Chains A and B, each alone.
Chain A
């Protein structure tokens, strides 16, 4: 089922000396239950494209549709709160919240009570394969792999159906890299998420159902 569609998406920004066209006319449709890998060299525009899919900014030309609705007319804060979550290479966890509190954050943000949020967070933490002991640990006390699992648990916690991951394995060793990829695959295939992963790593890309290549801001396949 199509959940996200980019139509002739362009994004350009102005630096002091020139206008950079980071994304040039990208069109693609993303469906739930699939894992997509977007690959390309640095500066090819893939991270910018992901940010546009996350609603962190709007295309300068073209449109992004979420379940058929134009992102430009949606409340993008609500979109990120309810439909899409982003996972980053540097995890972007709240350093002074415990693992459980980090996962509780998006749940409570939607108005769920503290007790119920704690229960749901514990379930998700278990689901991404983290030990129960990490619940009360702060992120810096956890390994990189554990932190990324926690970030994925937090992404799942929002209750949406889109996970956008920007180099999620970039800071991990090969074993943890494999585990995270499997976790994302599982999210796509068994939990019906549309998982869109940006990666440089061919091994990660090889695990995806669809691989999109970008060069100079354009989709080339």
Chain B
């Protein structure tokens, strides 16, 4: 208690030095908080970069010239739909259709409707959910179902005097080139389709006149024993940090290749285009920043240790007389250390606390960062202080006491 009171009296009576030490502590904590805050902010950015910057990927032919009208085998389609690395897959299959039922002899004359099967509205280039007007009580989820429901292009809808909510009969066909490059058509189904909504084409983009659920189309292929192929597929990577694992899966399990511009043109959808340049660039920059800041952290902490040392070293230089007198009165070296240490410690704790409060006002950082800052500061500064005060016993008591005025 006596030593504590002596330390408090020292703080009070060496007012200007105490205030100076207090200000140093406040400034150090604020600067350290900015540094640690910046490090933490970069870490958060890195964690959030996958949400901020999505990686879009699509299936392409090998030389990269075509991303639509491809032949994408069913195992690839399944893998895309089931992969844990993929989110928001958008797959489409191009179909053709005619109104009502008609004889097969004059098939081409009736097949006047451009149709497509999709699982996600984003499978149609340039179209988003905002461009779709749905019947009340209907959601876009029907695209993932296998129900005979469709969307109709707005112009085509009014041209045929159809209305949303109406049911129409459509004969859906799949046309393709056979191995001899002959143009072939195969009937998938003739069914009544409920018009769930209409799509408005912006900027004159081409869109199919009728859109049916992808799963409906896939099952229709199956029912007719036709090997299913999709014509376009794109998707986002769920966790961009796992981009390498995703690429490995696509390469090893599905044998999807990287684009090779020198290869021949074909319709086979067997290459993977991953648009990860922006993500990699951003993540690399942030990682680089984190590396620099983390590398500097030990130096910053060392500087705080050094400042703590210098401040306390200068303090004891001015207190040689006090130290020697205390020793001459029978205060042990250890208790002299404790008294001076308590004096410094109290200033450092108060200064650190004010510094944390000022930092909070300036940066509104979360409590965790402020506590870490305070702990780092206190640890380093006290370490420096203890180092300087450890030199008290180097002071010659005899010499200091005998100094004549």
Chain A positions within 8 Å of B, measured between CB atoms, are 47-48, 51, 54, 56-57, 77-82, 85-86, 88-90, 92-97, 101, 105-106, 108-109, 111, 154, 158, 166-167, 170-171
Residue of B322, B324, B325 with most chain A CB atoms under a 10 A cut-off: B325
B330 with A77: CB separation less than 8 A = yes
Verify A89–B330 contact, CB threshold 8 A: no
| CB-defined contacts of A170 to chain B, threshold 8 Å | 404
| Stretch of B227-235, B245-253, B395-403 lying at the A interface | B395-403
**Measured between alpha carbons, how far is A207 from B382 in the docked complex, in Å?**
53
Which of B10, B14, B330 lies in contact with A78, CB distance below 8 A?
A: B330
B398 near A109: Cβ-Cβ < 8 Å: no
Task: List, sorted by A's number, 14 A–B pairs whose CB atoms are closer than 8 Å.
Answer: A48-B398, A56-B328, A56-B397, A56-B398, A79-B330, A80-B327, A86-B328, A89-B404, A101-B9, A105-B329, A109-B329, A109-B331, A166-B402, A167-B404
B332: A residues at CB distance < 8 A: 77
Q: A80-B328, A106-B329 are in contact. Are A96 and B10 (CB under 8 A)?
A: yes
Residues of the A chain whose Cβ atoms lie less than 8 Å from the Cβ of B404: 89-90, 167, 170-171
Shortest CB-to-CB span from A83 to chain B, Å, is 9
Given contacts A94-B322, A96-B14, A109-B2, A85 and B329 within 8 Å (CB-CB): yes
A-B contacts counted at CB < 8 A amount to 69
Tell me the dominant secondary structure on chain A's binding face. Answer: mixed
In angstroms, Cα B13 to Cα A97, docked, is 8
- Of listed B322, B324, B398, residue having the most chain A CB within 10 A: B398
Of the listed residues B9, B322, B401, the one surrounded by the most CB atoms of chain A closer than 10 A to its CB is B401
Complex CA gap A166/B404 in Å reads 10
Query: Which A residues lie within 8 Å of B321 (CB)?
Result: 92, 95
Interface flags for B373-405 (1: CB within 8 Å of A; 0: not) read 000000000000000000000000110011111
Decide: A92 and B398 in contact? CB cutoff 8 A. Answer: no
- 9 pairs of A and B residues whose beta carbons are closest in the complex: A81-B330, A96-B13, A80-B330, A77-B332, A90-B405, A92-B325, A51-B398, A77-B330, A56-B398
Contacting pair A97 B325 (CB below 8 A): no
